[in-house]
Chains A and B, each alone.
Chain A
């Protein structure tokens, strides 16, 4: 088989919400160039699916002007959008960056309409119009990582494949969700080989991919998704299936939204508002035990939450809060002139707008001190919603226009409580999002058979997934683990004898010095000031007791005694050699306030993610490079078509990475 080239590798990472994809490996690995919403719409013909909602419209076509007709297949245009568009917008306010695709796409539809109507006859015709914003009737083939609708899932894969239209000699790397059963994987293998006729296929476990992305061989990967969490212990790049926390229910990002809704629902918050509040930069998880700001300073985060806060939380909502107080101004703020955006330079336009708004706000800013968010009792976030404008009379069939309404909503300390236990008790006695995840981590690591690796696993947590984007998630999780599970290097040290055979710890070189302020470096409160030698001594293996008989060493195994874990908990530092990813990690952009994932499937717009949440995609690229390009199948990293033809889909398990 001829060698595979970088530019031919196709990577697809399906998720319950978004499917990431990319054709070709760039010189330096970038975040996924394509992001597709993981949904399809049933088409007219049964058993077929369309990527967008199709509306049927009957109307009389009169002349070229103002009529609308959209071709059925519109992805062509979407493809033409330059993939780097998003990065060009990097200087534009991030809150806006993905939204603009929508009006633009709507405009595209309009343009097509002109073309279609040029025949100029007055006939009653049926037009099919793609409604890019609509989610009505959408089928999401994956739920909580599980594939619930195979037909639709395969249609989605096909849509992704066709959109990227790779050449024939393209190896495919597919990132597998942990929850997929072995039979599921076989079905996918069969589909990929038989439908796409790929010469080589690799199905990679998402947890292993994250480890490749971080460049560590042993780690505990915590993938916080929309409504599920996967906790996986990876030792030496091998995924430990036993004790793995697969698709833990009720632990994902949705939990936080639901909790916010529970707290704020009585104050008129809708779920959509809570979702945006969660995504805003004022929502934060505070480390366990941190007092809440304001009057609730004495209340602990774990305490009874909603009750005491209701009075002090003067939440203004329901009415658009207007900075300058006049209705005119509001109109000016809210309506986004789609035409202006489309015709002009979008990023400039938006930047100017934003600046304009900023100065206005700055003028009446009466805040004397700038406190960090976690100290402020109240904070405001910008709520945005899209309202479809009624078509004007003179252009009844023009492209649908959207008006974006922005309003500031003030929220009290509820914004710190998104991970606390639900008031409305379900059928699980959950102790809050973080504690449930922490318990799962403890269970997963304890189930790792190689006890000597457990300490390493605690010291290398990797938290990924877009659910973990909420500010302070990592720190809060680590502090929860510390409170519940980390062992204290306490008085045991002085009561027990120190074994004489422990090795002296090596002096730490400059490279090993912990970076101050690195979020992972959370030590147990009790560990401060304890001689590390003593800690090492008490937690190292004990010497063999006297009188051990000599026995046949070959046929005989002696397990090494080990000690309890964890003595410390740390996160793994993301790799620094991928500038595109590093940049995203470094810049603390305010998370975008775009409504859900309504945006069209198209090139990623750069903004919005803070980077390593999608490390799984970076890892898939690293692994593709290794498996397809460098190794070329010598170490059986992928399944080739020849092998598939010989052994069938079940042979994929021998290659699963």
Chain B
């Protein structure tokens, strides 16, 4: 091609729009365009609230972790059971999740963005019927996920927000268990989701949730954090207090187990961030601790049980090398057998570290993962059980705990010695963390899914209750 020859005038004439997939969770909210492999927008579901110069301000996004604000307090619109509690905030937060990185906050008026300039001698196209007040989702269909025990009211409220507040042209609400199964490439699966506030077991058959088998309990990542806190409290030689980074100005290296020598920061009392902020930031350190130190006892027997060769498992654990961890204030210590104990109660309720101040009541055996699986399978047809056991999908960020899937495998094999147990847990960290989003991304980009959408017209005709009929 001669560089001085102008190109032909052929131009793109289509108007394909990709759907937005929104996967709200308790700890983080994921949003992105359908067809992509990871959600482009990942924000904490926690939001910050403070007032500055007599104005109430709300901040969303990661920024809350980086710069503290005067009198900042932290809230979360989701309830611990995964159901929205504060609808106003949920709406704002979800809207932020897709406007911040995907659609842009305020779409420029298309009349003035330079793309619609009419060349001389051409008649402008008719622009009537164009809404001047553009809604954030005016041109993208929206697929949202929900937990399997979401009540009808909450589902109706969700479609109302999507259709009326955001102006979505089409909407669908899918169960996150089903989506996680899709992400693993399965239409039938037993989905074990270890989230932040909840663990849930969802039996999925042919893309449908078997409602009677759905089980959930609060022993999620936040529960493990509370166990870690309990461990720190009873730690020897001295209890450990977590001082988040924002309260430290510099630290000095100290020997293991020695009291920290750090320079602390102080804020004037009227500007000190709220206790909820501190606890959120402590959670950051705890999640680092969970990533680096905490380990699940691999089994096959419980940590408290005697091992196969007569030596108690605890002794075995004690003999394995510990892992060091340094806290933001410079305090550091090696954690030996304790690093197994903090998660043992996910499988053995009796092993829970007691802490009277904890938010979480002491777990019961029925809340442990293995018992939940048992209850879930008891709730489904006998003929389906072997098939489900052969397709166990593990998802959720807390399932990334070191050694978790090994232990789960052992527990399931002991519970069901007969049928073949096969666990599928993606190796890729982000696939594990975002599997229900990824499933939604796959679903919404399928051509066959187009007939499933609830269109704006249908919503206007039938009202919000259409979601009960169409999204099962």
Contact = CB atoms under 8 A, between A and B. Distances in A.
Interface of A: 1-2, 5, 8, 47, 150-151, 154-155, 167-170, 181-184, 187, 190-191, 193-195, 197, 199, 241-245, 248, 288-289, 302, 425, 427-431, 435-436, 439-440, 442-443, 446-447, 449-451, 483-485, 487-488, 490-492, 495-499, 524-526, 538, 542-543, 545-549, 551-552, 555-559, 561-564, 641, 644-650, 653
Given A525-B253, A546-B316, A562-B291, A449 B433 contact: yes
B304 interface: no
Contacts of A440: 66
Given A182-B40, A427-B70, A557-B427, A485 B256 contact: no
Interface centre among A195, A428, A548 (most CB of B within 10 A): A428
B114 A151 contact: yes
Interface in B120-168: none
Nearest to A545: B320
A430 B298 CA distance: 45
B112 A151 contact: yes
Given A183-B103, A451-B291, A549-B299, A488 B114 contact: no
Contacts of B52: 427
B70 A425 contact: yes
B457 interface: no
18 contacts: A151-B113, A181-B99, A181-B101, A187-B108, A194-B11, A195-B114, A427-B53, A428-B67, A440-B66, A483-B250, A485-B245, A491-B258, A492-B333, A497-B322, A547-B299, A549-B299, A555-B423, A564-B324
Interface in B28-67: 33, 36, 38, 40-42, 50, 52-53, 57, 62-63, 65-67
Given A199-B7, A245-B66, A499-B321, A488 B402 contact: no
B11 A538 contact: no
Given A168-B7, A450-B429, A488-B332, A548 B406 contact: yes
Contacts of B382: none
A648 B298 contact: no
Contacts of B300: 547, 549
A436 B67 contact: yes
B115 A648 contact: no
A546 B320 contact: yes
The 8 A-B pairs at the shortest CB distance, nearest first, are namely: A488-B253, A526-B253, A491-B255, A557-B427, A169-B3, A492-B324, A167-B3, A483-B250
B387 interface: no
Interface centre among B40, B62, B300 (most CB of A within 10 A): B62
B250 A288 contact: yes
Contacts of B38: 241-242
Interface residues of B, number: 101
A358 B423 CA distance: 78
Given A496-B321, A650-B33, 4 more contacts: A154-B114, A429-B67, A440-B66, A545-B320
Contacts of B332: 487-488, 490-492
A543 B405 contact: no
A562 B40 CA distance: 26
Contacts of A485: 245
B361 interface: no
Interface string B1-24: 111111100111011111000000
Contacts of B322: 495-497
A399 to B, nearest CB: 35
A499 B68 CA distance: 40
**SS class, residues of chain A in contact with chain B:** loop
A248 B62 CA distance: 10
Given A440-B66, A525-B253, A545-B320, A564 B245 contact: no
Given A242-B42, A245-B66, A547 B292 contact: no
Contact of A439 (B66, B100, B410): B66
Contacts of A181: 99-104
B449 interface: no
B377 to A, nearest CB: 19
Nearest to A196: B7
Contacts of B11: 193-194, 645
A629 to B, nearest CB: 14
B334 interface: yes
B386 interface: no
Contacts of B33: 182, 650, 653
Interface in B158-209: none
B291 to A, nearest CB: 6
Contacts of B249: 302, 431, 435, 483-484
Nearest to A7: B3
A493 to B, nearest CB: 8
A561 B402 contact: yes
B246 interface: yes
B349 interface: no
A446 B288 CA distance: 8
Given A167-B3, A425-B271, A194 B115 contact: yes
Contacts of B280: none
Contacts of A548: 298, 406
Contacts of A498: 321
Contacts of A653: 33, 36
Nearest to A438: B245
Contact of A449 (B57, B251, B307, B429): B429
Given A242-B42, A488-B330, A555-B424, A443 B62 contact: yes
Contacts of A451: 291, 429
B107 interface: yes
A183 B113 contact: no
Contacts of B422: 552, 555
B242 to A, nearest CB: 14
Contact of A491 (B16, B115, B256): B256
A624 to B, nearest CB: 16
Contacts of B3: 5, 8, 167-170
Contacts of B211: none
A483 B330 CA distance: 10
B253 A490 contact: yes
B308 interface: yes
A563 B292 contact: yes
A540 to B, nearest CB: 11
B92 interface: no
B4 A167 contact: yes
Contact of A430 (B4, B67, B245, B427): B67
A466 B216 CA distance: 53
Contacts of A170: 3
A488 B321 contact: no
Given A538-B324, A545-B320, A187 B70 contact: no
B323 interface: yes
A427 B103 contact: no
Interface string B53-89: 1000100001101111110000000000000000000
Given A169-B1, A564-B326, A431 B265 contact: yes
Nearest to A497: B321
A561 B16 contact: no
Contacts of B40: 182, 241
B351 interface: no
Interface centre among A199, A302, A542 (most CB of B within 10 A): A542
B67 A150 contact: no
Interface centre among B40, B57, B284, B298 (most CB of A within 10 A): B298
A559 B422 CA distance: 18
A414 to B, nearest CB: 21
B400 interface: yes
A538 B326 CA distance: 12
A436 B432 CA distance: 31
Interface string B228-247: 00000000000000000110
Contacts of A491: 255-258, 332
